[in-house]
Chain A
Amino acid sequence: MVDSRQWSAQVEVLLRDGIADPQGATIERALPALGLDGVTAVRAGKSFRFDLAAADESDALAQATVVADRLLANPVIEESRVTVRPAGSAA
């Protein structure tokens, strides 16, 4: 019998390199007002967290990757980074 357990997943979605990121660019243009002239390459994205039941870490990663690829990110313009850890462990 499979010992199913809870996992916490985090998915970070960012626009692909080469896709214009007007939010990142706008944020970057605001930074000189803070007196910070050296901050560059600002990228704006989204972060998602959810819990899921999975037999082991690779199953949890596979499930979270389906969520990321099929719903959370649009692969035409975005890429995602998926991480999983046992629920309740430190992020």
Chain B
Amino acid sequence: MPARVGVVLFPGTNCEYDAVRAVERLGGTAELVWHGATTVAGHDALILPGGFAHGDYLRPGAIARFSPVMEAVAAFAAAGGPVVGICNGFQVLTEAGLLPGALQKNRGLRFVCATSVVRVERDDSALTSGVPVGTELAIPINHFEGNYTCDAATLDELRAEGRVVLRYVDNPNGSVDDIAGVCNPGRNVVGLMPHPERASDALLGSQDGIVLLQALLRTASAPAPVG
């Protein structure tokens, strides 16, 4: 049975159809989940896509964190369900406390729209399961607030527990320790600034995002679906 992926749609989200299409092209099914929903039942995995949830007012993700659907997302994550936040979705997950740290304005106050090269650091997260450590992937980034930061104790913990999932080869935004993506202790919640769904077709210039999305679909199809 194909993995059923819920793509969470906040007012201001703008990458939802890219995510839906990428999932469907890889053999999964995808359905939009409106932010006012109070359940995410019927999904094997969730993607919080990119965009500007609630206009990014106050801080990216600061308002989205209080959207009704986030309680259901948190419960789904707590039950072990795979949850991936891409770009703005990553910001929402940190604001919601489902991932540690925060995403600050880029070094030099530069909006960055470019292809980044990221190195896979772990092969045991919901998004990188089975992807060999050391694999380098060319994946677009497109953000102003992608500068990952956290306090020293959190950084020590992330390193000690192997929770840095992706690192930039050439740090584009000032992120501490070149961090491009992290996961929670359960390794089922992953946030990353690069957009794998925008690197899922040769026409888009890169297909390097496919291995990540395939890993998510594999994780979603694994036993013990939740929701």
Contacts and interface: CB of A to CB of B under 8 A. Distances in A.
Contacts of B151: 76
A26 B105 CA distance: 13
B174 interface: yes
B105 A19 contact: no
B107 interface: yes
A77 B154 CA distance: 13
Interface residues of A, number: 10
Interface size class of B (residues with CB under 8 A): 20 to 34
Nearest to A76: B102
A76 B109 contact: no
Interface in A30-74: 71-72, 74
A76 B105 contact: no
B107 A20 contact: yes
B62 interface: yes
B109 A23 contact: yes
Interface string B102-117: 1011111100000000
A88 interface: no
A71 B104 CA distance: 16
A77 B104 contact: yes
A74 B105 contact: no
Contacts of B149: 19-20, 76-77
A26 B150 CA distance: 22
A22 B144 CA distance: 12
B101 interface: yes
Contact of B109 (A22, A71, A72): A22
Interface in B58-79: 58-59, 62, 66
12 contacts: A20-B147, A23-B109, A71-B66, A72-B58, A74-B62, A74-B95, A74-B102, A76-B101, A76-B149, A76-B150, A77-B102, A77-B149
Interface of A: 19-20, 22-23, 26, 71-72, 74, 76-77
